[in-house]
Amino acid sequence: MQPNDVAVLTDKTKITKDQGNYLFENNFAFVTPEGEVKLKENKLFEERVIATVDPDTLEDKIEALETAFTGLEESFSSLFNKLSESSGKDFDDIKSKADQLIDDAKSAAAIGDFESLISSANKKLEEIGKKKAKEESPGKIEEPS
């Protein structure tokens, strides 16, 4: 690829010669020469600054932000373990906590695959909700033929 070429990374993200001078970049974030750590735009949120870093501490800061994302994953995992073990009456309370955790994740200062994390969380909520609804609905009484 030549310096003036454009590389398409996603439907919405393009890196050009003028933008490619990042101190760090992965699929989810990049660090500008000024030290701004930015999450890339995705289906959940627009590009946004989550931190400012000194180039000397760049690696440590990136690692801390990735660790923060791992913490989010663990929070979701713990909540869904509680949710799958809960009785039907607890479902609404735990679902409310899951919805709050999803909202918190969307604004978290962390680097990771938020789209997959939140999509997975929504699918699990839906599956568990259907399972709880089945458990709570009275069985169909068959009439004799």
Q: How far apart are CA 116 and CA 93, in angstroms?
A: 24
Tell me the pLDDT band of 5, cut-offs 50, 70 and 90.
Answer: very low
Phi-psi region of 30 (alpha: psi -120 to 50; beta: other; left: phi over 0): beta
Q: Residue 89: what pLDDT?
A: 66
pTM over 0.95: no
Instruction: State the average pLDDT over residues 121-135.
Output: 82
**Ramachandran angles phi, psi of 89, nearest 5°:** -70, -25
